[in-house]
Structures are given as structure tokens and as C-alpha cells.
Amino acid sequence: MDDVSKCPVMHGSATNNKGVSTSNKDWWPNQLNVNILHQHDKRSNPMSVDFNYRNEFKKLDFKSLKKDLNDLMTDSKDWWPADYGHYGPFFIRLTWHAAGTYRTWDGRGGGGTGDQRFAPLNSWPDNGNLDKARRLLWPLKKKYGSKISWADLFILAGNVAIESMGGKTFGYSGGRPDIWTPPEDIYWGKENEWLKNERYTGERVLETPLGAVQMGLIYVNPQGPDGNPDPKASAMDIRETFARMAMNDEETVALTAGGHTFGKAHGAAPEENVGPEPEGAPIEQMGFGWKNVHGVGKGGDTITSGIEGPWTTNPTKWDNSYFELLFKYDWELVKSPAGAFQWHPINPDENDLAPDAADSSKKVTTIMTTADMAMKEDPAYNKISRRFLENPDEFADTFARAWFKLLHRDMGPKTRYLGPEIPKEDLIWQDPIPKGDSSFDVKRAEKEILDSGLTIQELVETAWASASTYRQTDMRGGANGARLRLLPQKDWDVNKPDQLSKVISVYEKIASNVKASVSDIIVLAGNVGIEKACGVKVPFTAGRGDAVQDQTDIDSFKVLEPMADGFRNYQKQDFEASPEEMLLDKSQLLGLTAPEMTVLVGGFRSLGISRNNDGVFTNDINNLSNDFFINLLDMSVDWKPTGKNSFDGLEKKSGKKIKSASRVDLVFGSNSQLRAIAEVYACDDSNNLFINDFISAWNKVMNADRFDLE
């Protein structure tokens, strides 16, 4: 017997399953992953239960931290020497790659959690050697401890880096709490090899919700699409991937040029000289990866992207030389020492050469990547680039604003910002909402709602339609602002536009009568509907404000439209993902646990809230009850599929159809984890538990975006 098979204990911690054990996922790879609703459990968090990071950040000596960061920029270490004696470009890349994973489709990614410390991000090929940047920051993290999160430190480092090299920044906010385990909910792509591409269909149509062109990249392949050095084709990839991170053409050009004003790319030798990434490296490397055996393995011998050289003549100074060089020269396609495609200027002047990063007495040619050449070859990018060439101040301002957006897009509304460098200007992408007023007569409003003639279903559905747009990933959406009555939300099919228009017109009159915001009335009315259905008081906290159309970027809000909402049994169309998987995804975005998801679905069905009436297993839709669970688990019914997402419930004795359901409904009886929860709510003595849990989960969703209550 080998050593593993001799071991007397069956280890859940075994690093190799072979001959030891297999997981449920190994046996049933299509099993619904309910665990994504319970990630980042308190038990994984080393901080005390009452630890509040936002309060700790307020105690931070921000000025001292910035000084220490600024000093670090030129404190070159022998173990990983700084190019040009300045770590600024290195930390800009760290910050960019922390924030740059953000994507608009589901709000996931971004720098808001410090997840670059964990797999897979810490080992993505595009993040090569950033393990060293994080270790350079460790002495400062150690010094300031719990008052600065890794997430905030990663972002602040890039800002200080820009400022230390003469660049302009627009501002900074802290307040990003760290996570302590790798996120399970982010889909990075189906590929099982680094830098592979299986995410396109048709004419280069990128799979939703992905924001990068290949597995393990942040945005695009700098050599061109799948390594093809075609600048115009690269422009197509750039435009799509940057748009998926909420950037327009102007912001895209500014970020590309601004980022590449600093530093250099590293490709001193072929990648065969580089060892495994941090997660695959041997234990004695202590979390470091990409061990380089070429030369001394660092400094001038560094290998990262494979591209080699600086973009500008002074890589540690903010200036306009990126555009000056781009348009001054014709460029020829060459290969780096590592064999990567890159572009060199033809016959450059002596004063347009750059210093060698490790030996300033030597001069080297500047370079452009294929992605950089797209800024010249694409007509729209070319026009913007030439304008920035001729207007350096406009370029600097556009870059500062776009950089700020890159770093803060996933932080939610401006009311969450912390620190002394918060910009005063309100920006449209921050989804601004006027301050609300909580002084209105709530009892009078409740009476007018009850007297309005609206049904329980209309009251509850409208409140859910408003509040359930919230995403905990980037803290967008939610009931605050009442954008449900504005474009584009008022026309979304999932919101039943005709019904919604009728309800909102009633709410606007009530809001006017009692001098309340429509957003408060929407939530209050949903509470009134639930109270009417169960006789139990639902908590309500006033103070929401109403946004106007001019404060609402229609294109930006389009991504919040639910393609599926299992809580309402709604599917806009058939998708590759199953309805129950999409229910889990929406629940995770809402920050719900599995019991909260379960009780909400059951409650909505008992109130008759379901497209096509599927899953409505009750005779009284005006009574909030546990009927859904009781009848779902009824053993006298056989379920037969009638379509991809439709099932008939047949009485076993007679074969007569007595009910219908969707996959979302039946999963609470078929999935063992969800059935265990459903059984709790189906018990004869559980109706009060069910009602209380429903109200608790409901209240959580209604107030998810109330950051003013934190």
C-alpha cells in the first residue's frame, strides 16, 4: 500500500483525491451549486464578530499612509528591483488589474474585495509577477493593520503611483472590506487552459457576462486577437471589452494611453524559463510564483507578458509622449526576445530612445503593442488620440476621470465613499439620488394605499420589481431612487409595463398627497400588501429619494434588466443556463441565503405571483401561507415534463392534471439541499416560522440599498 492508502483518517483536506475520496461534484458534475449563497461565511473571517471595517478606516492616518506609499515608490529592493528605480508603473499595473476585472453585466469582479490575493486571480497569466507587488505592500499593510484593507491598499497604491510621477488623479475613496476566501460565484469562462479561447460565437460575439477575450486575461490580448497582430481587429476586441467595463471610446483611449505612459513590458526570454504560477508553485516558494531561471531572474531578465520594452522615452514621468511617438513614426511588426509580437518605430531619433530599465547608461527603442496600434489604426480611436495629442490638458483630465471610474465603479453610490479625497462633483455613473425625507405621515400613506383599490399582488410585485434590481456585487439598483418609473426600467417586460404604469400613477398621487418620495411609497405599499395577506406588521424605514431621468444613464441601466427572475417565475427567453441556476445567480446578487431564497419563492407563489400561474399551489392568493411547500411535497402527485421549463402535476389515482410548475418550482423538491429547507416550511407547525422568515427576507431586499442606514 502507498502512504496515502495507509492513512487511517479520511481527510477532507486531502490535496489529491485519487485513492482517497471523491466529492459530490465529482459524482454529480451538474449538481446545483447552492454553496454560492453561503460563501464568505463568518467562520472564514479572522476578524472579530463586531469588527466594522468602515469604522476602522475612519481611524486611519491617511496622510501618513500616503507618505509611506510615496516613499515606497523609490525604495528599490534587491529581491525585486524597481525598473528605472521607481515602482510606480508596477503599482499602477497592480491597481489596474485589481479593478479591471469589473464587468457591467453582473457587476462582478473589480477591486472591491481584495480578491486578487486568491485563486484564480493571483495566478492568472495576465497578473504575472504581481505577487511581488503585493509583497512590496506587505510592510505597510502590517504597519496600518485593520485600518486599511488589502482592497483599499491595492487601489490607493495606484493613485499614489500616478501622483508620484507627476500625473493627475481625480480622487479616492476607501471603504472596501476584504474577503477571506476565493469567490465561488464568478464565472470566468469555460476554458480549462490558460490563455485558451472558447468564448466567441458568430462574428466575434463575446459570451455574456465575460469581459475578457481569453482565459486568464484582464481585457484583450496585447499581441492582437488570439495572438494575431491585426490592429483593426484588436480595436474591435478593445471596444467590446472596455464597453463591458462601462467605458466609452474616449475613456478607453485615455486609459490605454495613460496607463502606457508609464513603465515597460517584460519579455527578456521565452516563457519556458518561467515556473508555475503561485497556486501551482511548491510550498517552499511561500506563495511566490513564476520563478524565472533566465539570467538572474529579475531586473533586466524579467519575463512577464513576453512583450519587451517601454512605451515612452521617460517611463516614470507623466507627459504626452505616448501620442507624440505613436503619430511621429511609422511602426514595423517585430518579435520580442520571448517571441511575442510587438511594434517598433522605424528609424527612431536618438532623443526618442528610452533608458534601459536596469542600466540607465544604455538606450533602448520604445515599443507599441498591437492594442496600442489600434489607437492609431481604428478611425474613431485615431480621432480621439489626435485630439489628445493636440490637447494634453484634456487628455490628463479625461485620464484622471476614467481612472477614478475604473477604481470606483463597483463601490456603489457616492454616499458610501470614505476619506479626505472624495470628489465634490457628482458623476452620472454613480447613479445619483437626491436625499429623501422621512418626515411624512406614514399612517396616512398606508390608509391611502389600502383605499387605492390595488390588489395585494400589484402592491407586492411592484415593490419587488423596484427593490430586486439591487446587486451586492457593485451596489447598483434597488428601490432607492424609484427608477422603476423611469426609462429603461418602466418598459422592461418582466415588470408588466401596463400594470406598472397604472400602479405608479396611483403611487405618485399618494406621494404628492403625503409629501413622500415615490420610492418610499413603493416599498411601503409592498409592506402593506404583505401585512394585509398575513396580519403581521412589516418594518418600514422612510428616507428614500426619487431620481429623475437626467440622473439616469439609460444605457448603463440596461444591464440591470433581469433576463430571468425565478422569484416571479419569469424567463425572457431560453438560455444555456437553467432557470434554477439563474435563480441562484439572482439570489447571490441580492445577497440572499438559501433559506431566504426558498422562503421568498414560496411566499410569492402563495400570493399568486408567477408568470403563467406555475407553482401557485393554493386556493387563496390573498393569504400569505406555506401552501406552496405543503403541496410541492405532496406524494399524491406525479410530475410530467411538457416543455423545457414546464411540468404538469398529475393526480396519481386519476391521472388528472391538478397543477403546473416550472423548473424553479420543482427544484425545491428535487434538490436535496433545497428540499431540506422546504421540508422545514412545509411542517404543520411552521406557518408562523414561514411568515416571520418571509418578512425578514423581504425586509432585507427592500433595504439592501439603504447605505444611509449603515
DSSP 8-state class, residue 209 = T
- Cα gap 206→208, rounded to integer Å: 6
DSSP 8-state class, residue 303 = B
Q: Quick check: helix, strand or coil at residue 131? A: helix
Cα four-point dihedral sign 633, 637, 641, 642: negative
- Cα gap 239→228, rounded to integer Å: 17
The catalytic residue among 97, 266, 294, 408 is: 97
Residues 6 or more apart from 7 whose CB is under 8 A from it?
20
- Cα gap 71→160, rounded to integer Å: 10
CB atoms within 10 A of CB 441: 13
DSSP 8-state class, residue 79 = T
Q: How far is CA 346 from CA 125, 331, 366, 368, 385, in A?
A: 30, 6, 11, 12, 20
Q: Which of 134, 148, 168, 186 has the alpha carbon at shortest distance from 61?
A: 148
* DSSP output for 616-678: ---S-TTS--SHHHHHHT-TTEEEEEEETTEEEEEETTT--EEEEE-HHHHHHHHSHHHHHHH
- Cα gap 154→112, rounded to integer Å: 10
Q: Are the C-beta atoms of residues 184 and 38 closer than 8 Å to each other?
A: no
Is residue 97 annotated as a catalytic residue, yes or no? yes
- Cα gap 235→231, rounded to integer Å: 6
With residue 375 as reference, give the H or E element that holds it: helix 370-377
> What residues act catalytically?
97
